[in-house]
Structure 1
Amino acid sequence: MTSPSPTLPIGIFDSGIGGLSVLDAIAKRLPTEDLLYLGDTARLPYGTKSPETVARYAVQAAGHLVERGVKLLVIACNTASAHAIPALTAAFPEIEVIGVIEPGAQAAVAAAPSGRIGVLATESTVASGAYDRAIHALSPGADVRQQACSVFVALAEEGWIRGDAVEAAARRYIEPLLNHGRPRPEALVLGCTHFPLLRETIGAVAGPDIALVDSASTAAEAVAVALDADRLGNRAGAGRVKFMATDSASRFARVATIFLDRPVSPEDVEIVDL
């Protein structure tokens, strides 16, 4: 493969649909960039798979994006970011790979001078310890408290982003992080790509003294920095978005309409076979 060109799109990969929050953040941060999104909806969830299987699936999906022609790979999936980046960088050494965990950990450490950080994530991401490792690599003395919030995923995909039920779930998950007889966290990481949709409710429950770290917006900023450093930014025109999935264009389109807050039809989604 030849060296990446500024006119090529950014490739974005997720195990499903949650990574659309990352796509949305990148589109808003870099409106002149073309974006190519692939959701491996036929094989989700990745959280129940072994690390070896996750790495294999990620390389297959990323390989499809590379074949289409991309200048940067964004892994918009916490599970794949935790387990597959070494395999991806080995498979595609000519293309920079950016996950969602490292940028989120960096932003959390910057937002928590005393090192008190809460992490809201899915059960599989909490069990992987990926955020804990990434934060402690940057701040060895950090006080990291994690909470699995799996119900948030279903709420986001149904478009339930505010209201009594959402607030009740948020209180159930967040209050244990706040009341351990220790000082309150200074930062709270939204460590799943679904969770930015619930940011308003999460912030209201956590309180104004706790900084919310959005893994989608932090990944978008990391993409902007990487493109600038490599002189790969596309400066002209309005960016275009192409959607691909490995199963069920109709369901992808329904949830994408919620995540992107604009109509997406099944005809906008190309079904591909990995």
Structure 2
Amino acid sequence: MLPGEKLIYFGDTARVPYGTKSPEVIRQYAIQITQFLSSFDPKMIIIACHSVSSIGKVFLERKFPGYIFFDVIEPSIEDALKSTHNKRIGVIGTPATILSGRYVSMIKTADASVRTYQKACPLLVPFVEEGWLNGDIVEAVIKRYIQGLLSKDIDTLILGCTHYPLLKKSIRRVVGDSVNLIDASYAIGRKIVRFLRENNLCNSPEEKVPLLYFSDLPSYKRRTMFFFWRNRNLIIKKVSLNGKHICLNSL
């Protein structure tokens, strides 16, 4: 959407998954990552993780008052409210995201007439990390998680984890064509484009190579990375959170 923007990404591959960790630990990790990203003087920081968004956004805004933060929850809710016709919305996410209750509280604040149903799906992130994006086993687990939400007659389902859109085809086969699937990546992308244009913050249209930092990069994690960054020219670096880094390679 914004090839002219200089994208600096940090993936905490040494400590994932976040979704099974306590709020205190998630906030601690979020502070460390934000301190690292702030060294690049970014025009904004995108919290591209539902677990951190649900637990840490307000905390980070207070801790780092000089920065603009966007999370993936608010735009997901905006899209879901536009998509639902019967005002029954389902949310799937990590245990941390679901237990935070942020989706339920924010949807209720936006429209008290909407009913929200949630389900934690802790096995779906490991499936994506292993490259298991489809097949009978994957669909059976998805069905086990989602069938309770479908029994509530939801017409919209928020994919409340950054990993879940990679399972979208399998999820679609389980829920059928009558349920709207809300993918946060598209929702947050549109919101950021709109913000940059409205505030005259867009860079020149010349395409820039994304700079990706990872806290660990074993071979099997590189495979997962390609699912997210396929067909892109990339600069990849391994970094410790004290700022020292080793350039691995450019892809």
After TM superposition, the score normalised by the length of structure 2 is 0.88
For the pair 1:100 / 2:68, whether they are aligned, the reply is: no
Give 2:97's match in structure 1, choosing from 109, 125, 140: 125
Give 1:204's aligned amino acid: R
The answer to whether the aligner puts 1:57 opposite 2:29 as a matched pair is yes
In structure 1, the residue matched to 2:17 is 45
2:113 aligned counterpart, secondary structure: coil
Alignment partner of 1:185 out of 133, 137, 154: 154
Matched residues in 1 for 2:36 and 2:148: separation? 42
Q: Which moved more, 1:83-92 or 1:69-78?
A: 83-92
Rounded to whole Å, the distance in 2 between the matches of 1:127 and 1:256 is: 27
The aligned runs of 1:152-171 (5 Å cut-off) are 152-171=124-143
- Bigger CA drift: 62-71 or 47-56? 47-56
CA displacement, residues 212-260 of structure 1 (integer Å, 9 cap, x when unaligned)? 1011211112211221222111232113211112223544422101232
Could you state the TM-score of these two structures normalised by the residue count of structure 1?
0.81
Cα distance in structure 1, aligned partners of 2:29 and 2:126? 23
Tell me the amino acid that sits aligned with residue 227 of structure 2.
I
Amino acid at match of 1:34: K
Partner Cα distance (1:49, 1:203) in 2: 28
Q: Write the letter of the residue equivalent to 1:245.
A: F
Alignment RMSD (CA, Å): 2.1
**Quick one: distance in 2 between partners of 1:91 and 1:124?**
21
Q: Secondary structure at the match of 2:39?
A: helix
Gaps of 5+ in 2: 243-251
Tell me if structure 1 keeps the 8 A contact 2:51–2:94: no
Provide the identity percentage: 35
The aligned runs of 1:59-74 (5 Å cut-off) are 59-74=31-46
In structure 2, the partner of 1:199 is 168
Quote the residue 2:200 is aligned against.
231
Q: Distance in 2 between matches of 1:37 and 1:85?
A: 17
Distance in 1 (alpha carbons) for counterparts of 2:202 and 2:141: 40
Is contact 1:249–1:270 with CA below 8 Å preserved after alignment?
no
Q: What's 2:188 paired with?
A: 219
> 1:257 is matched by which residue type in structure 2?
F
What is the distance in 2 between the residues matched to 1:54 and 1:113?
Answer: 35
Corresponding residue of 2:240: 272
Match of residue 36 from structure 1: 8
Q: Does 1:141 align with 2:113?
A: yes
Match of 1:24 in 2: none
Runs of 4+ with deviation above 6 angstroms: none
What letter is aligned with 1:104?
S
How many residues matched? 242
